[in-house]
Amino acid sequence: MEFLPVDQLNVDQRVIEVIKSRGITKLNPVQSEAVKKGLLEGRRLLVTTPTGSGKTLIAELGMISRILDEGGKAVYVTPLRALTSEKFATLKDWERLNLKVGMSSGDYDTDDEWLRDYDIVVTTYEKLDSLWRHRPSWLKEVTYYVLDELHYLNDSERGPVVESVAVRAKKRNLLALSATVSNYKEIASWLNAEPIATNWRPVPLKEGVILEDKKGCTVIFQDNTVLTLRGSDAITSYTLHVVKNGGQVLVFRNSRKTAETTAKKLAVAMEEVDLNDKELLEVSKKFKEVEDGGEGERELLSELALRGVAFHHAGLSKGLRDVIEASFRERKLKVIVATPTLAAGVNLPARAVIVGDIYRFNRRLIGYQEELSVMEYKQMSGRAGRPGFDEYGESLIVVRDRKNVERVMKKYILSDPEPIESKLGNESSFYKFVLGLLASEGTLSEEELMDFVNQTLLDKEIARNYFQSGIEWLNENGFVEGEERLRLTTFGRRVSDLYVNPFTAKVVRDYLSGSEVGCSLAYLHLLAYTPDGPSLGVSKSEEDRLLDEVYCPLFVDEPEDYDEFYNFLSAAKVALIMNDWIDEVDEDVILQRYQIGSGDLRNLVETMDWLSYSGYHIAKVIGREDHYDNLLTLNKRVKDGIKEELIPLVQIPGVGRKRARLLYSNGIKRPEDVIMNVEKVKGLLGQKLGEKVAKEAARIIAGVR
């Protein structure tokens, strides 16, 4: 294994200084191999190595060397916003070289022309895909793409857009990164890239299973070494074993409820561990101070933190997740019990990873359970081992039946992850892909369009079949026009810019075209019922109540098919939640009433904000001004969670739903009223905030904002 001294790199001396400022004097074997294979000369590479092997620095060297040598811009693409923020923070180091680093995610109906002033742009796959559709001038200057977490090609939801981006990015210099690509030679060939594949890790990984029974727990590692622990609960026994020996633990459970229950159980068990009570009291207080979390969540996490434990899942607000992650990185919290989404979302290494379940719930399957993929397990186990703290990491799968030990060991530990395959093989994803190509490339002949399609990972015969049916469907439904050369219609262009699925656009257009105006609840239900709508679980006990509470006529009738009926109910639940939200029902009441988390509510607001925005633009392009007016008002209410009378006030930066209601209840109803009653506003909001709000109101009235 070669460790290349940083001083030997053939790069600008300032680059070496930045790397050394991080305490790095030698490149590790993976990084050294990338340099050897032509990273600094712009060679196209696919690097597939374990988590923690330094792939981000490889990306930095690739981007910076190209920008300094050739000019142009570089784009770093990630699948998740959390990762985008994480990479942006790391890349800010390069501003010491007078390079500007920018970040953009979300807000799909914009070209972000302001990014023309930046040398490095960090973004998500979805945002980059939408930017190509808007064709900002600065994108022509991009000469280098980094495609991070490329294994998301295999993700059923995000895979199609990752593949769409890869098809267009591979026309430029690129660097693709992943921890888990078993068919890396095939993927490298598809990308026209040189593969670098190695199992080298900075911290070696010991994998095994832990078998629980009434007599105790037995750990069986891959190398056949055995460890016996007291206690009949595997997760508790091994967690205590690791923490007592100075380590931290990530426990993965298959549901939010199980994660929370496990965290409570571990907190009780941690009573026998000597912890730093002063540090944990500080963490506990931070949970109580988080503004965007639900009261119940804050109280529970605050209590668990006193014993060094927390739970983590997508239902929590960003503020709560930030406290959990920061406290774990600082080694104050000792244990996090999480759902598998954490494995890919953030960089949180631990001494040990415990995979508590190999099954997860899937209501579409008979029996409602399916096994985790090998790739998902590899993502979780990859978090084991903290560089600089641990000599090795440990990853254990809990097995509750001795007969399954050999099978689990063979499937998850001794096998490679599943090969990456195209996820464009369905009508919804493929038609959106074709629409995006026409938006980004302009007018194309069928042959030119098919050339792009042939660059996907799809089987050529399958691709041809989807192509023919796709062109026919898009034409028949008014998205494209033309015979010899295809182009987007006005409707197709607007739908593409909005970044909604064409099937979503068709549903909204068809219902709005044939219906009179409806109440807010009806619009919310329609938008939630589209393919882009958010999905929520609906329990048996909720079904009748949801139907009873949908008090106004809906655009969509109850379907007879069970799956569609379930989707109908899910959309009804989303609509009722959002209707409470825009009626200014207290957030904690909403969370309790519908048994959702604060993070769920934030995600629903964000998605329904986008869909209501798209809805009123679709209404406008089809000439239904009556629906347009209603949807425009609805969008403004969804964005801030307000009744209609507060819309003028929430235009003022710093004034949200609660402050707007306080001002309105005291006779301050418009920005003009703020200016006329500055002292009253200060008395209501406080001196400092009141002054700021008054200044912002003045700017609005003056037309500055």
Query: Which residue ranges make up the annotated binding site?
Result: 31
- Would you say 536 and 315 are in contact if contact means Cβ atoms under 8 Å apart? no
Rounded-to-integer distance, Cα 553 and Cα 548, Å: 12
The one-letter amino acid code at 436 reads G
Q: Which residues are CB-contacts of 179 (< 8 A; sequence separation ≥ 6)? A: 48, 49, 50, 51, 55, 149, 151, 378, 379, 382
The one-letter amino acid code at 166 reads A
Query: What's the DSSP call for residue 330?
Result: T
- Would you say 298 and 286 are in contact if contact means Cβ atoms under 8 Å apart? no
Rounded-to-integer distance, Cα 115 and Cα 136, Å: 9
Rounded-to-integer distance, Cα 612 and Cα 628, Å: 10
CA dihedral 657, 659, 664, 668 (to 10 degrees): -130
Element (H, E) at 64: helix 55-70
- Would you say 604 and 639 are in contact if contact means Cβ atoms under 8 Å apart? no
Among 34, 46, 254, residue whose Cα is nearest residue 145? 46
At 689, list the tokens: 């905030």
SS (H, E, C) 547-589: HHHCCCCCCCCCCCCHHHHHHHHHHHHHHHHHHHHHCCCCHHH
Backbone angles phi, psi at 309, to 5 degrees: -125, 150
| Vertex 26 angle, CA 25 and 28, to 5° | 145
At 392, list the tokens: 């090795």
Binding-site residues from annotation for ATP: 31
The one-letter amino acid code at 469 reads S
- Would you say 581 and 605 are in contact if contact means Cβ atoms under 8 Å apart? yes
DSSP-derived secondary structure for 228-270: EESSS-HHHHHHHHHHHTT--EEEE-SSHHHHHHHHHHHHHHG
How many other C-beta atoms can be found within 10 angstroms of the C-beta atom of residue 109?
16
At 44, list the tokens: 């196209």
At 122, list the tokens: 């960090």
Q: Which residues are CB-contacts of 418 (< 8 A; sequence separation ≥ 6)? A: 154, 182, 373, 374, 375
Give alpha helix (H) positions in 389-501. Answer: 405-408, 427-441, 446-453, 460-476, 490-498
At 89, list the tokens: 């923070």
Q: Which residues are CB-contacts of 505 (< 8 A; sequence separation ≥ 6)? A: 479, 491, 495, 498, 614, 618
Rounded-to-integer distance, Cα 443 and Cα 437, Å: 10
